[in-house]
């Protein structure tokens, strides 16, 4: 795993939080919630892909 993965997740979190603040200030709470959920889904997809890579590496290491 690289440090850039942590930076990607942090950048997505910062972007989503700024969008959330701006949207809540303009009284668009529903869109702010959808933005938060979309950011969470994107981060979860990144993490799941990295976990799949980890399992593939372990499988190749033990020759399964």
pLDDT value for 28: 94
Question: Is 64 part of a structural domain of the chain?
Answer: no
2 pLDDT band, cuts 50/70/90, is confident
Q: Compute the Cα dihedral for 40, 46, 19, 15 and give only its sign.
A: positive
The answer as to whether 40 is a domain residue is: yes
Domain assignment of residue 19, yes or no: yes
For residue 55, give both structure tokens.
């399992």
In a domain, 22, yes or no: yes
Give me the number of domains the chain comprises.
Answer: 1
Length of the chain: 64
* The model's pTM: 0.83
> Residue 11 domain-assigned?
yes
Q: How many CA atoms lie within 13 A of 6 on its CB side?
A: 3
C-alpha pair distances (Å), 17 with each of 6, 8, 49: 16, 14, 23
Which domain, by its residues, includes 33?
Answer: 3-59
């Amino acid at each position: 795993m690289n440090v850039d993965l942590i930076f990607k997740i942090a950048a997505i979190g910062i972007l989503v939080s700024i969008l959330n603040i701006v949207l809540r200030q303009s009284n668009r709470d529903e869109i702010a919630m959808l933005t938060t959920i979309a950011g969470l889904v994107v981060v979860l997809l990144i993490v799941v892909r990295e976990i799949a890579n980890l399992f593939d590496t372990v499988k190749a290491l033990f020759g399964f």
